Structure 1
Amino acid sequence: MKNICTIARFFKLFCCTIIVVLTAAQANGQQLKPVSSGYAPANGISVYYEIYGQGKPLVLLHGAFYTIGLNWAALIPELAKDHQVIAIEMQGHGHTAYAERKLSITTLAADVEKVMDHLKIDSADVAGFSMGGSIAYQFAVQSPKRLRKLVIISSTYKTAGWLPVVNGGFKDFKPELFDNTPLQTAYDEVAPDKANWHRFLTQMFQFAEEPFDVGAENIAKITAPVLIIAGDNDGLDKVELAKTYQLLGGGVSADLQPMPTSQLAIVPAQGHVSVMMQTATLAGYMQQFLQ
């Protein structure tokens, strides 16, 4: 019963996300119109990307089950004012076809580098939400020379960074539970082959259940400035989050020593899904940090 309630809450919040994102974009009179889009060869698959705006490159990595539009629709118009925004759809997500290739944050981070190679981008700022944030941490470790600044939104570099209730959240999920939901609607609108819906979900459930850990020693070696943004009740273990910030040089007394280059922002009264709805807050933090 507890897991059923969790699933129901997840879908309720997800529906709210779609409504809020689309309403915000329409209210601003803005529509997502990429300057260009295409596919990049990446480790045996073709990864879809969209490009918006001009300026320093900023790569956006979405959360699990999301598309570019679902995750970033309201935020891209703000970020594209002073950046060349490159939004990527990961394996099996959105326009990027389902593949039997085993999912891992190591492989997905390598895909990001291949997209940058394809677009002839030497280095870029990288921002990731949820699953995309974990991939962004891995990218920072695997490809440090390709990274300028890193933005992590409601995410962690290890499984233990989530509260236990989150880590057990996918245990009883079945593909059929996601049928006729906003997730499937978004998938059907752009997926190359809609028949892979259940295969994609099964693959993602398996991916979510496998523990991962980029490594505290590796996080401590990240030299690029990092901005961590989290909702105060977003499912992250805040003790572990504080430890992560300390690994990045934060958590000091800046009155007695230099201010660290990395930053931590906790957005009050926000959960994991709702924090992505705070467009003005996120844009303000990100634009100030990236500039």
Structure 2
Amino acid sequence: MAAIGRPELVRSVVSIGGNTSAAQVRLKFGKPDVSPEAQAEHDRLSPDHASELIKKITTAFRVWKSEPNIAPTKLAKIKCPVLILAGDDDVISAKESEKIYQGITNARLAIVPGASHAVIKEKTQLVQALLKDFYAYPDYPLTKDPISRISNL
């Protein structure tokens, strides 16, 4: 991750459904399957042949079984503003999102209710509002009465 290895190149990070290790993925990796809706969207948006979608999903499943592998202690090296965003029914648990949030000094956490790993599609307007707020005020997010991050002041 560039924010850890080359922080001078990164001004901000938005992590949607992110995790630090493959063990944190709450997903059974069976045979890749594509819903008719996902196939129709792919066919509408992608120049690739329809059969390419299964190949892409198969590759993603293979990668997700072993990556990422980020030591929690390395999160402290991230100095830029970070928005950790996830659905409350994401394949990555809210507990994992909270762990990432706690490991990064300049982070914000948004767990979106009624959303899965497809939070962008399921709660588009809410995600847009969160992103706009994050980019409008990228510096350390002070609340009126800081409690959880008071040690960062």
**Superposed counterparts of 1:144-163, under 5 Å:** 144-163=7-26
Once the 2 structures are TM-superposed, how far is the Cα of residue 154 of structure 1 from its aligned partner?
2.2
Once the 2 structures are TM-superposed, how far is the Cα of residue 195 of structure 1 from its aligned partner?
5.5
Once the 2 structures are TM-superposed, how far is the Cα of residue 221 of structure 1 from its aligned partner?
0.4
CA gap 1:280/1:182 in 2 versus in 1, 3 angstroms: closer
For residue 92 of structure 2, the aligned residue among 233, 236, 257 is 236
CA gap 1:162/1:203 in 2 versus in 1, 3 angstroms: closer
1:268 & 1:198 partners in 2: Cα distance? 29
For residue 173 of structure 1, the aligned residue among 18, 31, 38 is 31
For residue 283 of structure 1, the aligned residue among 128, 133, 144 is 128
Is structure 2 residue 4 aligned with structure 1 residue 141? yes
Q: Secondary structure at the match of 2:85?
A: strand
Once the 2 structures are TM-superposed, how far is the Cα of residue 151 of structure 1 from its aligned partner?
1.3
Task: Letter of the 1:265 partner, please give it.
Answer: A
Structure 1 gap segments, 5+ residues each: 1-137, 250-260
1:218 & 1:281 partners in 2: Cα distance? 30
TM-score computed with the length of structure 1 as normaliser: 0.40
**Superposed counterparts of 1:1-291, under 5 Å:** 138-163=1-26, 166=27, 169-170=28-29, 172-174=30-32, 177-178=33-34, 181-189=36-44, 190-194=46-50, 196-249=52-105, 261-274=106-119, 276-291=121-136
Q: Which of the pair has more CA radius of gyration? A: 1
Q: CA RMSD in A?
A: 2.6
Name the one with the larger strand percent.
1
CA gap 1:209/1:281 in 2 versus in 1, 3 angstroms: same
CA gap 1:196/1:218 in 2 versus in 1, 3 angstroms: same
Task: Letter of the 2:2 partner, please give it.
Answer: F
Task: Letter of the 1:148 partner, please give it.
Answer: R
Q: Secondary structure at the match of 1:227?
A: strand
Higher RCO structure, 1 or 2 (CA under 8 Å, sep 6+): 2
TM-score computed with the length of structure 2 as normaliser: 0.70
| Residues 60-115 of structure 1: CA deviation (Å, up to 9, x unaligned) | xxxxxxxxxxxxxxxxxxxxxxxxxxxxxxxxxxxxxxxxxxxxxxxxxxxxxxxx
* 1:101 aligned partner: none
2:130 & 2:58 partners in 1: Cα distance? 35
CA gap 1:197/1:237 in 2 versus in 1, 3 angstroms: closer
Once the 2 structures are TM-superposed, how far is the Cα of residue 226 of structure 1 from its aligned partner?
0.8
Q: Secondary structure at the match of 1:184?
A: helix
Structure 2 gap segments, 5+ residues each: 137-153
Once the 2 structures are TM-superposed, how far is the Cα of residue 223 of structure 1 from its aligned partner?
0.5
| Residues 7-34 of structure 1: CA deviation (Å, up to 9, x unaligned) | xxxxxxxxxxxxxxxxxxxxxxxxxxxx
Once the 2 structures are TM-superposed, how far is the Cα of residue 196 of structure 1 from its aligned partner?
4.2
Query: Could you tell me the percent identity over the aligned residues?
Result: 25
